[in-house]
Chains A and B, each alone.
Chain A
Amino acid sequence: MKVLVPVKRVIDAYVKVRVKADGSGVETQNVKMSMNPFCEIAVEEAVRLKEAGTASEIVVVSCGPQSSQETIRTALAMGADRGILIQSDDALEPLGIAKLLKAVAEKEQPELVLLGKQAVDSDHSQTGQMLAALLGWSQGTFASKIQASDGKLTVTREIDGGLETVDLKLPSVVTADLRLNEPRYASLPNIMKAKKKPIETTTPAELGVDVAPRTQVLKVAEPPAREAGVKVASVADLVEKLKAEAKVI
């Protein structure tokens, strides 16, 4: 089974983002960038499927500026086979990215597209579902367990209140949730090997996809700040304050 893994380069999840003074966005200059944590989980799962003999080839694809190559390299160092960069300096929206991925999927003919459930920058949680819709494929979102067996995929999904298991006909799109696995760290020899793995570069225009934005960010602002309150001396003091002052119990 050939697996396509779309990955996104984002501001590192542990960096505290700062809103630009002019309200046009957040500060991205001199900020540490990393692979989106849920994309890492997707790459790890693909590599495990390959190690288990289920996946035959893992192709990683990223849409974004030239620097997204580094993110593809990280995935190659984790065990993916080759990469595709769809180079664009424009701000891409989930629908545009889903259209680009559809074009790649039609060319590469994977049986499974495995990606993160959400990117921690824009927090949309849309791309996988949109891609599945455009391809007319089945989807298994928020996956915490994936099992492949003859032509179908059994996916356990994290839902509000518990877990749901669905059987999906292949080809399918699956998005990774937190508990699917714990991504590995790439070893130094694998990082060296990844440098020799091929990365093909293409563009939205070459793929014939219109990625013109449908939305417009008018302003980005800091959320209302929450102020620190007081420290209480004891549990008794805390209970007293919750009863008398805050009146919440």
Chain B
Amino acid sequence: TTTPDELGVDVKPTVETLRVEPPAEREAGIKVESVEELVDKLKNEAKAAAIAGVNKVLVADNAVYANQLPENVAALVVEAASGYSHILCAHTTNGKNFMPRVAANLGVAMISDIVSVESEDTFKRPIYAGNAIATVKANDAVKVVSVRGTAYDPVAAEGGSASIEALDNVTDAGVSEFVSEEVVKSERPELTSAGIIISGGRGMQSGDNFVLLEGIADKLGAAIGASRAAVDAGFVPNDMQVGQTGKIVAPDLYIAVGISGAIQHLAGMKDSKVIVAINKDEDAPIFQVADYGLVADLFKALPELEALL
């Protein structure tokens, strides 16, 4: 028998155990009714709960909320809002639809479309189609805010393990009813999340000519957008509109074809990393923001571009 002392070794502990606890218990979850429900839950609830930084996911699973009717969704959010200092949503058509109702029913101002958080009550947001940036301080106790998605990098989709709680109270305002939805199914990426976008303007001359952009979009894996002028002229539907009153985008590469560069269009795309402009008018304002400008007839340049990619 020997001892640490005899061996001349100091084994004095350098760490101290403060407390011993049982491990976090895993609670039983819920039983789902069908495979369909299971897939839906895995896709939505579990996904939200796995986002890094999320502590709790509140789920209101009721047909009343199926189509996000703002009268019902706003009532739900207002009810769930107590105890929260900040209520945020994305500045999408859905967020813009219900969030002002939430703010009005809470009796507070809403700060729309923020691009930066300066402090817990102060935010930056573009005004006048992005021609000015206002720094706004919200003096209400509760801050209701919508966020411009392209101004932020997404958080990690994994790493979190939030608890999931059900909201059981159901409010059906009963004043509106969903009739139908016509969603464009496309194999191309969504405009607001695409890495590359190619957009056409009035210079495309017709909706049929947008086919010239499609070949290039296919080769680049790009989304196709349009200027308000092209939408106004009836070439393409409004959900393709990039601009102040359409979608705000910020891809790695934005190719503007036959777009002059009106203020309201620039407001929607000038945060793109690299901007290319193809226009036959060398004085077009779009060249003032383009990294690479090509003065050319688009009907010649587009087939050539497609061939070279």
Which A residues fall within an 8 A CB radius of B? 11, 13-14, 16-17, 19, 26, 38, 93-95, 98, 117-118, 120-134, 136-142, 144, 154, 157-169, 172, 177-179, 213-223, 226, 228-232, 234-236, 238-239, 241-242, 246, 248-249
Contact = CB atoms under 8 A, between A and B. Distances in A.
B184 A217 contact: no
Contacts of A216: 136-137, 139
B270 interface: yes
Interface residues of B, number: 93
Given A123-B128, A130-B103, A221-B133, A231 B309 contact: no
Contacts of B228: 178
B136 A126 contact: no
Contact of A214 (B138, B181, B247, B264): B138
B292 A229 contact: yes
Nearest to B91: A125
A218 to B, nearest CB: 4
Given A130-B101, A158-B239, A228-B290, A164 B181 contact: yes
Contact of A167 (B173, B176, B305): B176
B305 A235 contact: yes
Contacts of B38: none
B292 A241 contact: yes
B110 A124 contact: yes
Nearest to A23: B135
B5 to A, nearest CB: 66
Interface of A is mostly: mixed
15 contacts: A129-B96, A129-B101, A133-B105, A161-B183, A162-B239, A166-B179, A168-B175, A169-B174, A178-B228, A213-B139, A216-B136, A217-B137, A222-B132, A226-B289, A230-B293
A16 B132 CA distance: 10
Given A166-B69, A249-B309, A129 B97 contact: yes
A85 to B, nearest CB: 23
B301 A235 contact: yes
Contacts of B99: 129
Contacts of B232: 178
A137 B175 contact: yes
Given A130-B104, A160-B247, 15 more contacts: A129-B70, A132-B71, A139-B97, A160-B93, A172-B175, A178-B231, A179-B238, A214-B109, A217-B137, A218-B136, A220-B134, A226-B270, A232-B294, A236-B304, A248-B252
Contacts of B98: 129
Which has the most chain B C-beta neighbours within 10 Å: A13, A26, A213, A229?
A229
Contacts, number: 267
B292 A238 contact: yes
Contacts of A121: 127-128
Contacts of A131: 104
B212 interface: no
A168 B176 contact: yes
Contact of A120 (B129, B136, B192, B238): B129
Interface in B217-259: 220, 228, 231-232, 237-239, 241, 244-245, 247, 252-253
A127 B184 CA distance: 29
Interface in B250-278: 252-253, 263-264, 270, 273-276
Contacts of A137: 175
Contacts of B71: 132, 138-139
Nearest to B222: A249
Interface in B125-179: 125-140, 173-179
B118 to A, nearest CB: 9
A154 B177 CA distance: 10
Contacts of A11: 128
B130 A167 contact: no
A221 B128 CA distance: 12
Nearest to B75: A133
B263 to A, nearest CB: 6
Contact of A217 (B103, B136, B174): B136
A158 B184 CA distance: 12
Contacts of B112: 123-126
Contacts of B85: none
A220 B176 contact: no
Contacts of A120: 128-129, 244-245, 264
